[in-house]
Amino acid sequence: MRLKLGCLLLLALAVMGCWDFEEVDRRAFATTIGIDPAAGGKVRLTVQVPILTGGRGGAVGGGESGFYTLIQTARTVNEAFAALQTKTGRDLVIQQNKVIVLGATAARAGVKSLIDYLRRNPKAPPQSLVFIARGKSAAAILSFVPPKEILPASELILAGQTVPKADRVYFIPLWEFVQKLVHQSKDPYAPLIGVDRREKCFVFSGMAVFAGDRLAGTLDEEESQAFGLLANLMKAGALTFTTAGRRITLRNVKGRTRIAVREEDGRPSFHFKTVVYAALGEDTAGRTGLTPADYRRLEEEATQALRPRLEAVVKKLQNWEADVIDCGETLRAYHQRLWVRVKSSWRKVYRQALTTVEVKVHLARDGSLR
Amino acid sequence: MAWEPRSGEKIPQETPVFITALKERLGDPPDLVFTAAGEGITVAYLASLVEASELAGGVLDPLRRMGEGTEKFSWRNLLQSLPAREIRGRENLAEAVEDLLSGYALVHLAGSGTVYSFVVSRPFRWPPTQPQIERTIRGSRLSFPEALAEAVRLVRTRLRDASLRVEGFFLGRRTRTAIALFYLVDVADPGLVEEIRRRLSRIEIDGIVDSGYLEQLITDNRRSLFPLTQSTERPDKGVAAILEGRAAILVDGSPTAILVPATINELYQSSDDYYYGLFHGSFLRFFRVLGNLLAVALPGLYVALLGVNPELLPIKFALVVAQSRAGVALPLILEILLMEIIIEIFREGSLRLPTTIGQTIGVAAGVVLGIAGVEAGIVSSATLVVVVITAIASYSGPNYEVGITWRILRFGMLFAAIFLGLFGLAVFGLVILTHAANQNSFGVSYLAPWAPMRPRALFDTITRRPLAQNRRAGTYHPAEEDRLRLKEREEE
Amino acid sequence: MTDGRNHGSLAPEAIFALLFLALSGMEFLAAPYGAVRILGPSSYWAVVVGMILAMPVLVLARAWRRRFPGKNLRAVATAALGRPLGVIGNLLFLAVYLIWLVVAVRDAGDLVLAYLLDRTPLWVVVGFFLLGMLYVVANGLSTIFRLAEFVLIPALALRLLMSLVSLQGMEISHLFPAFSAPLLAYLRAGLDLFRTFLPLAALFLLGDLLPGPEGLFRNASLATGSATAILFLDALGAVGVFGADLAGELAWPGLAAIHHVSFPYLLVEQLGLLFLIVWLVTFFVAASFYLHLVAAGLTDAFPRLPYSWTTVGLALLVAFGGLILPNAAVVRTIFDGLRRFAMLPAAGYPFLVYFVAVLRGLGGRKDAA
């Protein structure tokens, strides 16, 4: 019996083919994907593929750029991806995709229809970072050849993993983007990516916020910082404010915001309590010998400077109906009854809700000067 | 308790009773010899331990000469007639037995309650040889001698316990090869010993040329890929196994002992694991197991990751490897198969080379061929790295046979990976595991102590059992479990 | 000595190993799915409710072992219900396992195709899997138990590690409100998850192989407890990371929760796929166990069936059944159906048999003594 089974096993092995065997150098890894709208309701898919030079054991790249781009217009993203197979001799695979760039125009029209392929395909990595192309099409971003950077995708990934970047740009992986998109009480955000032609580099500047699946508006860098504080995203920021003719920068800023919900006439009002932890990074007046009283004054000045910024951003987000700061989520999680009541008209409720902001700054140290 | 002398029992005065008592104590080993040296005088000795000429010249001949005379035997005359040498008088049977095991000859006079022991032990007669396969940094530098008598002497000198049983067999119609079975009568599972005897007695063959023959004839499953018996060339390992309650089988003319029962776990234990401290031993053992895992799985994993599931590789790694493969003439499958085959041929070839040339050739083949192969675009450097790691890792285990098993299975893993990637590897790995789970070695599960699980014995798998563990692991169903009692503890 | 037969009863550790693997391996990384649909954010409690609902099965197993030592379900059922009823009941009982096996193998095949392979035909994956399983069951239960014991420690450790790792990126607010649904809904969700604990009913089929009642109960409870803890962590991860809304949309939320984790610079970047392998190993052992149970049950009921050919026939049946299911939606529907309707009878049948047997005064102290 055992012999028979062994034979069967061998037989099975013998009749098997290698359906999924494809050598690594026979695969073209799509490392960055850009999605733009095209005429006639179609989508234009741009894909970056690293170039393998023939050199044995050599470093990646070696030519002028380490990658090439393929562009295809089709009715769906999947169709475009499949059609791209005709443009490369290798097997174009999505498994190693690191970055997704959505064109701003496409994002404004709604992203849900664009990312279904990336959500549905189990091979598409959920870790890929989502970016919105600032002002331009995703294709324009992807076809930009940075002179020094060999492979944009890996550079972008590295940027996403660098903690000090969580200052005015907050990277978001696809799974989290989708999670916020699907979650009824949340809205997604994504960093904006642009190209500086003169400096020849990518620029991450500001954040795109969504209302539902549509791009609602963009925040500039300072607004993004306020957003980062409100959404608990800022990990190591640098905040600058002006007070009494001096310019002061706080470094290593960490923010922590709690939302207190109050109910008035069956409508929620939100009170943001933001606590900021920071160190003194720069003081243009160059003052030394800070006393506890000076610390208190500095903290007070920082509070005065920050609160209006935060308030403005909250108002802006409310006007856009973009709930990227977890108002709805707080309501849903901790005020169930109220949430059930306002759930159906949540966007309107959010827009009209009374919001107040309270800021408290903790200055812990001031560097190597007394 | 085996190590405590059984006190009290006097030496029998009657000659037949004396002989029976000794036989009983030692389990009637084939090397226990009784010689009558005159009327009422019996000389008992262990043939494996004593020097025959010494015995004859120093004890037997003077005794016999006395017998030719007319004088009445008495201890006084007797002792006077013998050449001066170390002589002890013993009145206690246990002490006498101990002397016997230390290479003394016992002279017994009928009607007397005393025996006298004469030292007639002999030096080793074979040039000490070093173990070739199971080399260790620490521990004995001896390997088993080929002559069975010498081997028996070696084990007897290392394990001077009256409970050590040595049973002799002659196998092979034409070769009449002597075979010795060692075990501790009060530790080893009686069922195990019975089973070994049964299997040995079953053998009808024209010749036993090496213990390898015997190994295959007594194995539980001849069709198993795994060695279901453990072979060793190290006496210390043999003695340790006997102490565990296992049995050792030695074949005349073969420097390799067979230890049964064997478990897969046992095959990864090197004797010096126990000579170092607990953590040192565990550290070494962990990497040994890891090395063997690499040896069996690395080429398969390499192919699965490069050919079927490259999504698991970090992008930079994938690109670098892809880059190194880009100019290579051979497809990945052929490349790695070719390299594996070449490595196997190298291994076999270098075995026959004289050692001095062997090293030079090894370096030349390894370095020059490697570089040339990569330069010529026949193999990629990544594949070369994998193949070399695999080749070296396959030697990390101390047991040579199971190393071959993994080398064979490695090809199976390779094919499974080619067809079905990681999924194939997983299922094939489970099939291998199932095969191992199906095996028994003399009534002990091959996967013990993992399965059936013996939580206490599990310490002695990837990590090392602390020596201070005072009981034997239950894996081999020992009849006696106590092992160690530290003196301080006793006094407390 | 050499034939690998089962020697007497199994070690209690073996029961623990196999039950744990079956409990955590036959669950389809989809644990929270149905519960999320019913409960929303607090669906992780469903795992606990499911376990509480499964406890009576454990208690019954102990009582069974006491009252009918060495007798399996078939023997007691034919004695208690009469031969025709008993045989039919048993066949139905086995049928639940068989159907479960069919759907599970198909779903595992789909899972492998979705995440690890792409162009390989389903029949190859299923075939390879079943051939491996046949090899495992060919030597009977002792091999399965040994296999289970061998993989237990790595599987337990890795499974726990993965469940903990999947909590990366969890948002606490997703887990709130902690009681989001009416009480009755928790019961419903618990019943929905009750099928996870179906392997426990297999205890009634093992008969004389089981260890004594106390050892059995202790180890089975321990296995249930640890499997529940891991499933609970899985559910916590899925809901905590994705939120109830998204978790309810995913086909395999448990897997997705681990798949999303990113450890940059690690040699193997996509941890989820490695986890899939770990899970596949446990599933493989558990599925082999099921295959053996059904085959052994059939040969027990019809002694003229040879065990080996029964396993081959069943494997063919499973392969055929698995391949004949037209699409993923049908697989899910059958799963849902099994969840709702088959599991309670499957666990309820032993209860029925036991009570009828007690009423008719079968078994009891004198047998035990």
Closest CB from B308, B322, B431 relative to A20: B308
* Domain match, A270 and A159 both: no
Q: Which residues in chain B touch residue C269, judged by CB atoms under 8 angstroms apart?
A: 311-315
How many Å is the maximal CA-CA distance in chain C? Answer: 67
pLDDT interval class at A10 (50, 70, 90) = low
Check whether residue A73 and residue A199 sit in a common domain: yes
User: Which tens digit of pLDDT belongs to each residue from B2-50?
Assistant: 344 445 688 888 888 889 988 888 888 888 999 888 778 888 988 888 8
CB proximity A153 to B under 8 Å: yes
Among A130, A135, A148, A169, smallest CA distance to A33 is for A130
How confident is the model at residue A4, as a pLDDT? 57
For residue C21, the surrounding DSSP H or E stretch is: helix C12-25
Specify the amino acid at residue B265.
Answer: N
Among chain A residues, CA nearest to C245: A183
d(CA C179, CA A233): 28
Nearest CA in chain A to B380: A56
Which chain C residue has its CA at the smallest distance from A7's CA? C131
**pLDDT for the residue B475:** 79
**Which domain does A207 fall in, by range?**
25-219
**Residue of A11, A336, A339 best to disrupt the C interface, most CBs of C under 10 A:** A336
- Determine the distance in angstroms separating the CA of B348 from the nearest CA of chain C, rounded to an integer: 33
Higher-confidence position of B316 and C317: C317
CATH number at A347 reads 3.30.300.210
Which residues does C contribute to its contact with A (CB < 8 Å)?
Answer: 41, 114-115, 117-121, 124, 127-128, 131-132, 134-135, 138-139, 169, 173-177, 180, 241-243, 245-246, 249, 256, 259-260, 262, 264, 270, 308
Contact C318, C101 (CB under 8 A): yes
Question: For residue C202, what pLDDT is reported?
Answer: 84
For residues B125-140, average pLDDT: 83
* Location of structure tokens 């049950």: C297
Query: What is the reported pLDDT for C5?
Result: 36
Note the pLDDT of residue C8. Answer: 53
B315·A154 Cβ contact <8 A: yes
Judge if A364 and A238 occupy the same domain: yes
Q: Which residues of A touch B321 (CB under 8 A)?
A: 24
Residues of C within 8 A of A9 (CB-CB) are 131-132, 135
- pLDDT score, position C225: 92
Q: Does the pLDDT of residue A313 top 90, yes or no? A: yes
Residues of B numbered 270-309 whose beta carbons fall under 8 angstroms of chain C's beta carbons: which are they? 308-309
Q: Which residues of B touch A (CB under 8 A)?
A: 223, 306-308, 310-311, 313, 315-316, 318-328, 331-333, 374-375, 377, 380-381, 415-416, 418-421, 431, 438
- Mean of the per-residue pLDDT values of chain A: 85
pLDDT of residue B4: 45
Find chain C residues with C-beta within 8 A of B199's C-beta. none
Q: What is the mean pLDDT of residues A89-94?
A: 87
Alpha-carbon distances of B425 from A166, B260, B302, B448, rounded to whole Å: 41, 31, 11, 24
**Cβ density class B171-194: b for 16+ within 10 Å, e for less:** bbeebebbbbbbbbbebbbeebbe
Q: Are residues A154 and A266 in the same domain?
A: no
Please check the confidence at residue A189 and state whether its pLDDT lies above 90: yes
The reported pLDDT for the residue numbered B242 is 92
> Does B327 contact A59 at a Cβ distance shorter than 8 Å?
no
Contacts of C316 (CB under 8 A, 6+ apart): none
In chain C, residues with a C-beta closer than 8 Å to the C-beta of A2 are: 135, 138-139
The answer to whether position A3 is within a domain reads no
- Between A and C, how many residue pairs show a Cβ–Cβ distance under 8 A? 81
User: How many domains does one find in chain A?
Assistant: 2
Least confident range from A140-149, B209-218, C101-110: namely A140-149
Residue of C39, C115, C117, C119 to mutate when probing chain A, most A C-beta within 10 A: C119
List chain B residues with CB under 8 Å of C277. Answer: 422-423, 425-426
Across chain B, mean pLDDT equals 84
Over residues B328-337, mean pLDDT: 87
Is the predicted pLDDT of residue A43 greater than 60, yes or no? yes
**How far C277 CA lies from chain B's nearest CA (Å)?**
7
Whether residue A31 is found in the same domain as residue A173: yes
Residues in C closer than 8 angstroms to B428, CB to CB, are 132
Range A304-322 average pLDDT: 93
pLDDT at position B200 is: 92
Strands (E), B191-251: 230-232, 247-251
- pLDDT (average), residues A133-153: 75
Contact B455 C13 (CB under 8 A): yes
Verify whether the Cβ–Cβ distance A56 to B324 is below 8 Å: yes
Is residue B178's pLDDT more than 90?
A: yes
- Looking at residue B251, its pLDDT comes to 94
Helices (H), chain A: 2-15, 77-84, 104-109, 112-120, 138-142, 152-161, 174-182, 221-230, 292-320, 327-334, 336-342, 346-352
Interface contacts (A, B; CB < 8 Å): 101
B103-115 average pLDDT score: 84
Is the CB of B220 inside 8 Å of chain C's CB atoms? yes
Beta strands at B87-90 and B115-119: parallel, antiparallel or unpaired: antiparallel
Average pLDDT estimate for A105-117: 88
Domain ranges of chain B: 15-119, 148-262, 278-441
The model's confidence at residue B488, banded by pLDDT at 50, 70 and 90, is low
Q: Which residues of B touch A21 (CB under 8 A)?
A: 307-308, 333, 418-419, 421
Q: Spell out which residues of chain A touch residue B431, defining contact as CB-CB under 8 Å.
A: 9
Pairwise CB contact (< 8 Å): B420 & C120: yes
pLDDT in the model for residue B1: 36
Stronger pLDDT, C228 or B64, i.e. the higher one:
C228
CA distance B432 to chain C (A): 10
Q: Does A98 touch chain B (CB under 8 A)?
A: yes
The residue out of A219, A254, A275 marking a domain boundary is A219
* Residue C280 with chain B: CB contacts under 8 Å: 423, 426-427
Residue A19 in domain: no
Higher pLDDT, B376 or B144: B144
Last residue of a domain, one of A219, A251, A268: A219
Residue B69: per-residue pLDDT? 66
Please judge whether B420 and A125 are an interchain contact, meaning their C-beta atoms are less than 8 angstroms apart. Answer: no
Residue A77 has what pLDDT? 92
User: For the segment A291-306, what is each residue's pLDDT rounded down to a tens digit?
Assistant: 899 899 999 999 999 9
The shortest C-alpha distance from B440 to chain C (Å) reads 6
Q: How many CB atoms lie within 10 A of CB B345?
A: 10
Distance CA B150, CA B273 (A): 27
Q: Are residues A228 and A319 in the same domain?
A: yes
Domains and CATH numbers, chain C: 18-353 (1.20.1740.10)
Tell me, what's the pLDDT at C40? 84
User: Is C277 close to B422, i.e. CB distance below 8 A?
Assistant: yes
**Structure tokens that stand for C46 in this block:** 């469903």
Does residue A232 share a domain with residue A203? no
**Distance between CA A210 and CA A317 in Å, rounded?**
9
Q: Are residues A206 and A268 in the same domain?
A: no
Predicted confidence at residue B470, as pLDDT, reads 65
Chain C contacts of B220, Cβ < 8 Å? 1-2
Neighbours of chain B (3+ CB pairs under 8 A): A, C
Q: Which residues from C are below 8 Å from B437, CB to CB? A: 143, 146-147, 150
User: A2-6, A264-268, B329-333, C237-241 — which is least confidently predicted?
Assistant: A2-6
What integer pLDDT is reported at residue B230 of this predicted model? 93
Same domain for A90 and A207? Answer: yes
Q: Do C268 and B426 touch (CB under 8 A)?
A: no
Instruction: Give the Cα separation of A22 and A19 in Å (integer).
Output: 8
Residue A63 has pLDDT above 60, yes or no: no
pLDDT for B121 equals 75
Nearest chain A Cα distance for residue C122, angstroms: 11
Task: Assess contact for C34 and C189: CB atoms under 8 A.
Answer: yes
A186 contacts in C (CB within 8 Å)? 243
pLDDT of residue A56: 42
Answer yes or no: do C260 and A333 touch at CB < 8 A: no
**How much is the average pLDDT of B175-196?**
92
How large is the average pLDDT for residues A117-125?
A: 90
Residues A151 and A225 in one domain: no
- A37 and A181 fall within a common domain: yes
Q: How far is CA B7 from the centre of its chain?
A: 33
Over 80: is that where the pLDDT of A26 sits? yes
The residue ranges of chain C whose pLDDT is under 70 are 1-9, 28-32, 264-269, 342, 364-369
Please compute the mean of the pLDDT values over residues B189-204 and round it to a whole number: 92
Give the mean pLDDT of A320-332: 91
Do A78 and A185 fall within a single domain? yes
CB contact under 8 A, A326 and C173: yes
- Asked if residue A13 belongs to a domain, the reply is no
Contacts of A273 (CB under 8 A, 6+ apart): A257, A258, A259, A260, A358, A360
Residue among B313, B315, B332 minimizing CB distance to A23:
B332
A205 inside domain:
yes
Alpha-carbon gap, residue A291 to A162, rounded angstroms? 34
Residue C161 to residue C165: CA distance in whole angstroms: 6
Mean pLDDT of B86-110: 85
